[in-house]
Amino acid sequence: MSEKTLNPRITAIGSYVPERRLDNTEMERLVDTNDEWIVQRTGIRERRVGGENEYTSHFAFGAVQDLIDNYQVDVTDVDMVIVATHSPDYVFPSVACLVQNHFGITSTGALDLNATCAGFAYGLHVANGLISSGLHRKILVIGADNLTRETDYTDRTTCILFGDGAGAVLVEAKEEPSAFITSRLGSDGSGGIHVYRSGFADTMNGQPLGGNGKLVQNGREVYKFAVSTVTQGIGAMLEQANINVDKIDWFIPHSANLRIIESICERSGLSMDKTLYSLEYYGNTSAASIPLALHLGIKEGKVQKGDTMLLYGFGGGLTHCGVVVEWG
C-alpha cells in the first residue's frame, strides 16, 4: 500500500507588537516633520517601539505564544524553526535557537534567514519546499524585526517609517491538497547600496558606506525597484498559476509605504479594497509586516478559510519574493 501524500498547509498564526506607541505627534518633537506630511507620504500614523530590554527574540516569543493561545496547538514537536530577521539579538546564536530553547522544542533544526523585508515570504517558500520534499512535517515560520534600534532619528526621511513587531505561522504536512499555489523570488545585489545597514565593511560595490551602523535608505530607488519588480512578479505568478487577478481574494504586500502599495495595485490590476497592510499603526516592520497584516485581516473577519492570498515582500539586498497561498 502506497503512503498517503502529505502537503504543506498553514494551520495557525500569531502576532506580537510592543506596548509603546510612537505616534506622529511625538515624531514631530524628534525631527522637522508633521503628522499631515507623514500620513500623505507614507500612510503611517504610529509605530510600536520595543522596551529597553526587549529584543527581536522577545517579539518572536510573543508571536509564537499568541499562535499557541489562539489555536491551542503544541509546538514542542516542531521539526524546523525558521526566523526571518535582519536584526537578531546577537550575531550568533540565532533567534531561531533562542525560540527553540524558550519553547522547549526538543528535536528541531533552527535557522535565521536574512532577506530583510522579503524574509517572511522567503521563509514560506523554504517551508513549502521542505515539507513538499518530505524532509519535514511541522515548521514554525516567524518574521520578526527590531528596526527602531537601527533607526537614525536625525534622518527625517527614514525615521518616520520604522517600527518593531513579529508574526508567526505554523506550516504542517496534511493529507489535504497543498495550500501553496505558486511562488517567485529573486535578487539584485547591484542595488544593495540603496538600502543597507553597515557592518564590518566600509564600502559596497566600490562605494563608501555611511550611517554609523544605522539603517540607510534611498527611498526613490527603493520605490522604483519595488513598483517595477513586484508588478512584474505578480504578473508572472498569475501566469504560472493560470489564474486571473480577480481570483486573488487578498493581496498582502510588505508594508513599506502606502504610496508604493497603491502604485503596485494600480499597475497590476489588484484592488486596494482587497489589499491588507499593517503600516498605519505599526509602521514598516520589515519581515514582520506581512504576517502582522494577515493576522489583522483574520481578526477583523476579512480573511476566511479557503481564501486565495498573494503575499509579496521586497527590500534590502535587493530581494523580493511572492507566494500565492490558500488560507486555512
Which residue among the candidates 117, 159, 265, 321 is catalytic per the annotation? 117
Catalytic annotation present for 53: no
Tell me if residue 148 falls in helix, strand or coil. Answer: helix
- Secondary structure E strands in the chain: 7-16, 20-23, 46-49, 80-84, 109-113, 138-146, 164-174, 180-187, 195-197, 203-204, 207-208, 215-217, 250-253, 308-315, 319-326
Which residue among the candidates 125, 284, 320, 321 is catalytic per the annotation? 284
Contact 161, 283 (CB under 8 A): yes
Q: How far apart are CA 178 and CA 124, in angstroms?
A: 13
Contact 268, 245 (CB under 8 A): yes
Catalytic annotation present for 254: yes
Contact 279, 304 (CB under 8 A): no
Catalytic annotation present for 257: no
Which residue among the candidates 86, 125, 254, 320 is catalytic per the annotation? 254
CA 255 to centroid of chain Cα atoms: 8
Question: Between vectors from CA 65 to CA 97 and to CA 185, what angle results, nearest 5°?
Answer: 60
Please count the other Cβ atoms lying within 10 Å of the Cβ belonging to residue 157: 14
Residues classed as catalytic: 117, 254, 284
